Structure 1
Amino acid sequence: MTRERAALLAHLDAERRHVLSAVAGLSESDLVRPAAPSGWSIAQLLNPLSYDVEIFWAGAILGGDEECIELIRDGWSVPVTTGADAVARYRRWVRRSDSVLTETDLDAPPRWWPPEEIFPFPPFADARGCVLRLLVETATHAGHLDLARERIDGRQHLVV
């Protein structure tokens, strides 16, 4: 593993742990009650991390995985069954993504890119851009979860 890959994956792992820390110890009722200023619950905030980040960027784009391509959804509109299901789904897709990321050549082009009518953005030149996008999206959503968690019980994730 190159130093670059190791650094990127270490930062991604830290942000994923941040996400799971933000939801740790919450009851089912805390996971599904509105907590963000938008009225979204913690479980609803986890769905985009599963669908729009792990399934889309890692599984479909980087991995070219047919199951992931079929599962692509707007994670913001996926209905939540339970908070526990949302957490378990996220953990499952992180594990699947890790297997893709350990085999990904950062200099290679993405293995799949959605049609322009679905995703009207030019493809990244290499997998590195996709991994960076995965990292940025995960870190951004971790911050959203921090704010929602603070509204639930006052817990703050302090970054020093």
Structure 2
Amino acid sequence: MAINEQFTERGQADSSGLSDERADLLETLAKHRHFLRFTTRGLTDEQAGQRTTASELCLGGLIKHVAAVERGWADFILEGPSTMADFSAMTEEDFARWADEFRMLPGETLAGVLDDYAEAARRTDEVVVTLPDLNVAHPLPSAPWFEPGAKWSARRVLLHIIAETAQHAGHADIIRESLDGAKSMG
């Protein structure tokens, strides 16, 4: 099956021809992506960039962050740890750029952030569909939160992406409810 035949018209992975495991991973990730995106329904760019809690987080920034996370981990699956930052060697400037990932910057729009997220999601789905083996593993980059010498398989990375997306969808729900009372569920 050609790659372009494995994706729906909307760019989402078509899991009908995949193993149960890959289909389950993609369906679970799609569900959590939906909840994250759903928190931004009907918002203006200004609202998407507004902080509504004690946290520095805003809805547009959360989506930017999750898109960057997916992009980075997809690169890791395909190319290994050289595609990721060595967090133990980051400078203040590096941390400032990383912090900008969590907020809407001047000139950014909610539509642009959502489009970027859709593209990152499409690419992650393509990796899941086309990767020959989910057992492919690479050593993790140097970071204080990773065990030294640990390796993650593509499967483990995908589980991490799902967990992070779900966690941030919960954050987004709280931010949205604080903004205007709207809820993702309930």
Q: Calculate the TM-score normalised by the size of structure 2.
A: 0.70
CA drift of 1:131 comes to: 1.0
CA drift of 1:136 comes to: 0.4
In 1, distance between residues paired with 2:159 and 2:118?
Answer: 20
Distance 1:145 1:63, change over 3 A: same
The residue identity in structure 2 corresponding to 1:116 is S
The residue identity in structure 2 corresponding to 1:56 is G
Name structure 1 gaps, 5 residues minimum: none
Contact 2:37 2:63 in 1 (8 A): no
Contact 2:22 2:128 in 1 (8 A): no
CA drift of 1:45 comes to: 1.7
Select the residue among 23, 30, 36 that pairs with 2:47.
30
| Residue number in structure 1 paired with 2:70 | 54
User: What secondary structure is seen at the aligned counterpart in 2 of 1:107?
Assistant: coil
Contact 2:67 2:120 in 1 (8 A): yes
The residue identity in structure 1 corresponding to 2:61 is Q
User: What secondary structure is seen at the aligned counterpart in 1 of 2:100?
Assistant: coil
Name structure 2 gaps, 5 residues minimum: 1-17, 87-93
Superposed, which structure 2 residues align to 1:28-107 within 5 Å? Answer: 28-51=45-68, 53-57=69-73, 59-64=74-79, 69=83, 75-78=98-101, 80-81=104-105, 82-84=108-110, 85-104=112-131, 105-107=133-135
CA drift of 1:55 comes to: 1.3
Distance 1:49 1:117, change over 3 A: closer
Q: Out of 115-124 and 23-32, give the one that drifted further.
A: 115-124
| Residue number in structure 1 paired with 2:168 | 141
Q: Out of 115-124 and 29-38, give the one that drifted further.
A: 115-124
| Residue number in structure 2 paired with 1:155 | 182
In 2, distance between residues paired with 1:115 and 1:130?
Answer: 13
Q: Calculate the TM-score normalised by the size of structure 1.
A: 0.80
In 2, distance between residues paired with 1:154 and 1:22?
Answer: 11
Greater Cα radius of gyration, structure 1 or 2: 2
Distance 1:101 1:150, change over 3 A: same
User: What secondary structure is seen at the aligned counterpart in 2 of 1:155?
Assistant: coil
> 1:70-105 CA distances to partner (integer Å, 9 max, x unpaired)?
799764433633242322221221112111111122
In 2, distance between residues paired with 1:95 and 1:127?
Answer: 16
Equivalenced residue count is 153
In 2, distance between residues paired with 1:64 and 1:93?
Answer: 16
Identical positions, percent: 24
In 2, distance between residues paired with 1:119 and 1:61?
Answer: 17
1:14 correspondence with 2:31: yes
